């Protein structure tokens, strides 16, 4: 067990919470410097394994000149560099038109199904004027809206991809052929763009291996929106459950404060040390949220629900146990972080980095913030 003095017997316990609040402010400020990786912002993320000495500014300028684009980001990574290239405008526009195409195609399919159902109904009710009008309406929708919409969307997609010089012929009115052409055009253009990018990079810097990841801005916005929804729903559920357990808003606030502060501190560390926010690091944040809730709830239960010793003794015992658990986790993720830096495995690097810095913040937030708030609440409640 970790041997430290009982800090909760001090008369200045109420001031302990100031440090977590200060870290929260700093974390919120530094989080504004977070860079979204291509999994959320869209674009292309390339990791090159190289032993060459590279100037990030010079390489960024050279890539922009060769590929005729702006906003290239270069980050030094253990064993190489990570290059983030903004979304290609032609591919981005083509993707939007492709999504429109499938919206119209879905409408077309529904129109056909609706017309078929009406035809079947007419067999049992011949001459039904209402059904005849509905079938005529469905056919008109198919021919005058859905099909026209598919054709226009496909034309716009192919026009956006004209710089890639791919096959742009299709049979208008043949839904299967139009779908195949729409998919193939976008896929071919993406592959040609990858070949162009990697060909340009191979002339600028020597590398032994690489990883290439391309994601559309539309999907990135979807993931980012889902992340916000998951975190908001998680905090709402956590607040309700904790309030139900303790039947008081103070412990519920303390638990939510602890969890939120851990995430804010982790986000601040990501902004400070250049760890990008992406699908992988989001997984680390969710892991951190679960760990934080676990320690905060167990601490609150021990202080409020148990009766052995004084509340400060119970808080101290919780801290000793919790610190031992946290230090064990820190060692584990520290080793993973070190290995990921040596070998540079981006997935492990981002997850371990987020959780590692979050756990360091959790030590301060839980034992100086959450535990102090719950202890002050308990002492005031006992005096009433």
Residue 384 has pLDDT above 80, yes or no: no
Alpha carbon 51 to its chain's center: 31
pLDDT given for residue 342 in this prediction: 76
Of 213-227, 232-246, 325-339, the one with minimum mean pLDDT is 213-227
Instruction: Give the pairing of strands 209-215 and 43-49.
Output: antiparallel
Domains of the chain by range and CATH?
7-39+216-383 (1.20.1640.10)
Dist. CA 44–CA 78, nearest whole Å: 20
Sheet containing 80-85: give its strands across. 73-77, 80-85, 43-49, 209-215
What are residue 12's phi and psi, to 5 degrees? -105, 25
pLDDT given for residue 1 in this prediction: 46
pTM: 0.68
Dist. CA 26–CA 22, nearest whole Å: 6
Dist. CA 291–CA 233, nearest whole Å: 17
Q: Residue 13 — very low, low, confident or very high, per pLDDT cuts 50/70/90?
A: confident
Give, as one character, the DSSP assignment of residue 47. Answer: E
pLDDT given for residue 250 in this prediction: 84
Instruction: Give 124-140 pLDDT, tens digit per residue.
Output: 666 666 655 665 565 65
Per-residue pLDDT averaged across 20-26, rounded?
Answer: 93
């Amino acid at each position: 067990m970790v041997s430290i003095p009982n800090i909760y017997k001090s008369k200045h316990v109420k001031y302990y919470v100031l440090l977590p609040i200060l870290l929260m402010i700093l974390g919120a400020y530094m989080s504004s410097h977070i860079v979204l990786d291509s999994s959320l912002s869209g674009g292309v993320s390339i990791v090159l394994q190289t032993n060459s000495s590279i100037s990030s500014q010079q390489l960024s300028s050279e890539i922009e000149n060769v590929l005729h684009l702006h906003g290239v980001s270069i980050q030094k990574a253990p064993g190489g560099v990570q290059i983030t290239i903004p979304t290609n405008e032609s591919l981005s526009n083509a993707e939007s038109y492709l999504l429109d195409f499938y919206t119209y195609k879905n409408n077309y399919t529904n129109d056909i199904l609706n017309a078929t159902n009406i035809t079947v109904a007419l067999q049992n009710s011949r001459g039904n004027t209402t059904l005849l009008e509905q079938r005529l309406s469905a056919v008109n929708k198919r021919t005058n809206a859905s099909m026209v919409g598919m054709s226009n969307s496909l034309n716009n997609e192919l026009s956006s991809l004209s710089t890639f010089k791919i096959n742009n012929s299709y049979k208008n009115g043949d839904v299967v052929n139009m779908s195949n052409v729409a998919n193939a055009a976008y896929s071919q253009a993406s592959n040609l763009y990858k070949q162009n990018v990697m060909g340009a990079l191979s002339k600028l810097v020597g590398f032994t291996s690489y990883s290439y990841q391309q994601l559309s801005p539309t999907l990135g916005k979807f993931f980012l929106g889902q992340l916000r929804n998951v975190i908001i729903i998680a905090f709402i559920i956590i607040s309700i459950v904790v309030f139900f357990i303790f039947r008081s808003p103070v412990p519920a606030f303390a638990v939510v404060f602890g969890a939120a502060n851990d995430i804010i501190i982790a986000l601040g560390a990501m902004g400070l040390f250049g760890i990008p926010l992406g699908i992988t690091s989001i997984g680390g944040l969710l892991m951190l949220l679960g760990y934080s809730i676990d320690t905060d709830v167990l601490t609150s239960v021990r202080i409020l629900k148990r009766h052995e010793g004084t509340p400060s003794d119970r808080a101290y015992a919780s801290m000793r146990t919790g610190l031992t658990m946290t230090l064990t986790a820190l060692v584990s993720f520290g080793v993973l972080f070190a290995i990921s830096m040596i070998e540079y495995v981006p997935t492990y690097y981002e997850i371990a980095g987020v959780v590692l810095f979050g756990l360091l913040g959790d030590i301060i937030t839980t034992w100086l913030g959450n535990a102090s708030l719950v202890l002050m609440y308990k002492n005031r409640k006992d005096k009433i």
